[in-house]
Homo-oligomer: A and B are copies of this chain.
Amino acid sequence: MINKITVLEETIVKLAEAKKYASLRDLLATLNPADIAEAFGNVSDQTLPLVFRLLPKELAAETFVEMETEQQEILIRGFSDSELKAVVEELYVDDAVDLVEEMPANVVSRILAQADPDTRKMINDILKYPEDSAGSVMTTEMVELQGRMTAAEAIEHIRKVGVDKETINTCYITGRTHKLKGVISIRSLILADPEALCQDLMTPTVVAVNTLEDQETVAQMFSKYNFNALPVVDGDERLLGIVTMDDAMDIMEEEATEDMEKMAAILPSDRPYLSTTVWDIFKQRIPWLLALMAASLLTGLIITGFADVLMASVALVATIPLLMDSGGNAGSQTSVTVIRGLSLQEVEPKDILRVIWKEFRVALLCGIPMAVLIFGKLMLLDGQTVPVSATVSLALLCTILLSKIVGCSLPILAKRLGFDPALLASPIVTTIVDIVSLLIYILLISVIL
């Protein structure tokens, strides 16, 4: 599939450059909006408005939604008012909100001016919710039905209102003041006896989220319940909107990226890497680099402080990287596993003792063969004495044990205290383990040697 798209991109760019607009129009009409947007990504800024105008109205709006922010801005700046109106009218409200959030203020006011008053009100309502809340990612275009409607009446109603709705696959039964009473799928409406009442067909226990719920929880509920859409309600259980599965997928992807970034000591960003400026990337990375640098100066301080103990033999110094690396690796294995488990809700804070006990046994299983290998290597290959070899291999075992215990308990404690566990991943764990394992090493040297 991927090769086909690459070929398509080249064809589109070639046709556009050769100004073969009639052929290009015919070609574009057969394509999928996501593919067109990808191909348009390689078209020059001058050509973009020309080729975009070749798209039929509905396809144009669908393609527009799939494009990169930079290109959307170029297009809007080039649009006449009526062209802008045509695109904005075709957008679903949640896509319009995304657009408004990304664009600079002067472009936003043009967009809002072209939206019809109802749409403008919906956009403004959604914009009121805090970033990354369920309210901010919902759409307000869902189908509401009444409990006393028959299946046939409900389908008739959907036929009337469905064209403007983001999905008709899941509909909601509401009472007075939009109070949420049940959920019903288009599938059950179609398969049911046409005379059956919606209130008898609906599932009355509806899982819903509050508008202020974190979007991460929303995505977790989708993956737990396998919903097509999730209703969003206010404090009085009135239906305000729905989050659809495609948005939930985007959130999941976003949240996984954010976790990976945090685990790698990066402040999260929601822009794609290539369109983030060097300066912004710098700002994402420098705070942690500086903080961790300060921490590793501490390690240096310990080495300086105990120079008489450590510098007694080259072999003892040469082992420091081994201890630090192994501790770092063992710790990050554990912290990443536990953090991911927490975020998929496979591990919960109440499991902390079970997790520590498990990691303790894993650490022994991993640490003992490593310690034995190092002992053998020092004795046989390097011709070290038994006390030196024993000190190093014991220090290694302690480091592995320590790193696994720290690596599993810190993220769980963070979660329990209401912090994001992903912040307590390898870099912090490594730094703590570095310092403590160096101290253990020095202690062992002083005692044994």
Contact = CB atoms under 8 A, between A and B. Distances in A.
Interface of A: 1-2, 30-32, 34, 155, 158-159, 162-163, 167-169, 186-187, 190-191, 204-205, 207, 209, 213, 217, 221-226, 228, 245-246, 248-250, 252-253, 256-257, 259-261, 263-266, 272-274, 278-279, 281-282, 285-286, 288-290, 292-293, 295-297, 299-301, 303-304, 307, 310-311, 314-315, 317-322, 324-326, 328-330, 332-333, 335-338, 340-341, 344, 346-347, 351, 354-355, 358, 361-362, 365-366, 369-370, 373-374, 377, 426-427, 430-431, 434
Contacts of A273: 337-338, 340-341, 346-347, 355
SS class, residues of chain A in contact with chain B: helix
A214 to B, nearest CB: 11
User: Which of A209, A250, A296, A369 is the most central at the interface, judged by chain B CB atoms within 10 Å of its CB?
Assistant: A296
Task: In the A-B complex, list the 10 residue pairs whose CB atoms are closest, starting with the nearest.
Answer: A264-B336, A296-B325, A300-B318, A256-B256, A272-B346, A299-B321, A226-B246, A303-B318, A282-B365, A273-B341
Contact of A326 (B205, B293, B321, B377): B293
A208 to B, nearest CB: 8
A300 B322 contact: yes
A264 to B, nearest CB: 4
Nearest to A335: B264
Contact of A366 (B260, B282, B426): B282
A257 B260 CA distance: 10
A333 B205 CA distance: 45
Contacts of A191: 159, 162-163, 168
A415 to B, nearest CB: 13
A333 B292 contact: no
Nearest to A278: B361
A318 B301 contact: yes
Given A159-B190, A300-B321, A430-B328, A344 B253 contact: yes
Nearest to A435: B321
B307 A314 contact: yes
Contacts of A317: 303, 307, 310-311, 317
Contacts of A221: 1
B322 A296 contact: yes
A290 to B, nearest CB: 7
A311 B11 CA distance: 63
Given A190-B159, A351-B274, A321 B324 contact: yes
Contacts of A222: 249
A185 to B, nearest CB: 9
Contacts of A325: 292-293, 295-296, 299, 324, 430-431, 434
A394 to B, nearest CB: 15
Given A30-B204, A296-B326, A299-B321, A265 B217 contact: no
Contacts of A288: 329, 333
Contact of A30 (B205, B259, B263, B281): B205
Contacts of A252: 249, 252-253, 256
Nearest to A392: B300
B324 A324 contact: yes
A310 B223 CA distance: 54
Contacts of A272: 341, 344, 346
B369 A257 contact: no
A332 B253 contact: no
Contacts of A249: 222-223, 226, 245, 248-249, 252
B340 A257 contact: yes
A216 to B, nearest CB: 12
Given A260-B340, A273-B346, A289 B169 contact: no
Contacts of A344: 253, 257, 272
B338 A224 contact: no
A237 B210 CA distance: 45
Given A190-B168, A303-B318, A317-B317, A329 B265 contact: yes
Nearest to A210: B1
